[in-house]
Amino acid sequence: MIKVLIVDDDSFIRESLKVLLGLDEEIKVVGVAGDGNEAMLLLKDGLEADLALMDIRMPGCGGVEGTKLIKQSYPQVSVLMLTTFDDDEYIIEALRNGASGYLLKNIPPDRIIQGIKTVQQGNMLIHPDIARKLAGFLQPVAPAEASPAQPLEAYGLTRNELAVVAAIAEGHSNKEIAAQLFLSEGTVKNYITDILSKLALRDRTQIAIFYLKNGRR
């Protein structure tokens, strides 16, 4: 059961999403909030959520800041942005703050449900149009002693680690990566820990961004 916290300043959208998500037996809406601050209060009061489905533009604490607050205090809670297509800069800032991707408000209901499940499985949702803009908006995240123009091998990554980085950037979960590389999920997790350490990165999203900037030729 995926426990979802809905964060949106529009009460109609909140209730509509609550009804929609409640139709899926694998998803349970455990709370609703009007902005990022309300979401934080619920979590501080003991609300247990696996994922926050968060609007970007909200009065008070918007989705970008709300994502930052949640990921700093509750890193185990995934954040999936719900937005319109003209929010490019907001989306990129939310990804920098630890969001796992985003959904568009005008997509079919089943796509919202599938998106939540996709993120909860450890994957990311990054539209190709946004991915192409990441390099322009984000500052280099590579170690200072290595040039971002150098191949990934220059950062001390092993062959298997390079394969894991590429797979993460393609949106694969640990289970899928393990199957592709004929490894155990535990080994994949260990590789990811080593990759984060070598590249001085924070999470899977930053690994994907790093690859988009430095890995594709």
Residue-wise pLDDT for 1-22, tens only, equals 999 999 999 999 999 999 999 9
Q: Report d(CA 20, CA 8) in Å as an integer.
A: 15
The average confidence (pLDDT) of the chain is 85
Is the pLDDT score of 154 beyond 60? yes
Q: How confident is the model at residue 131 (pLDDT cuts 50, 70, 90)?
A: low
Q: How confident is the model at residue 107 (pLDDT cuts 50, 70, 90)?
A: confident
Helices (H) and strands (E) in the chain, counts: 10, 5
Higher pLDDT among residues 74 and 128, named by residue? 74
Look at the chain and count its residues: 217
Q: Domain 139-214, CATH 1.10.101.10 — does that match?
A: no
Is the pLDDT score of 206 beyond 60? yes
Is the pLDDT score of 133 beyond 70? no
* Structural domain spans, the chain: 2-133, 139-214
What average pLDDT score do residues 94-107 get? 86
Antiparallel, parallel or unpaired: β 51-55 and 102-104: unpaired
Residue-wise pLDDT for 20-61, tens only, equals 999 999 999 999 999 999 999 999 999 999 999 999 999 999
Alpha-carbon distances, residue 122 vs 7, 51, 100 (angstroms):
21, 11, 9
pLDDT of residue 118: 86
- Whether 122 and 8 have beta carbons less than 8 Å apart is answered as no
Rg of the chain's alpha carbons, rounded to an integer? 17
User: To which residue do tokens 């509509």 refer?
Assistant: 16
What average pLDDT score do residues 109-130 get? 82
Q: How confident is the model at residue 68 (pLDDT cuts 50, 70, 90)?
A: very high
Is the pLDDT score of 151 beyond 70? no
Per-position DSSP letters for 22-69, written without gaps between them: HTSTTEEEEEEESSHHHHHHHHHTT---SEEEEES--SSS-HHHHHHH
- The CATH code for residues 2-133 is 3.40.50.2300
**Shared fold status for 2-133 and 139-214:** no
What average pLDDT score do residues 131-155 get? 54
- Poorest-pLDDT segment among 55-64, 104-113, 147-156: 147-156
pLDDT of residue 134: 62
Q: What percent of the chain has pLDDT over 70?
A: 85
pLDDT of residue 145: 43
Structure-token pair, residue 32: 């609703």
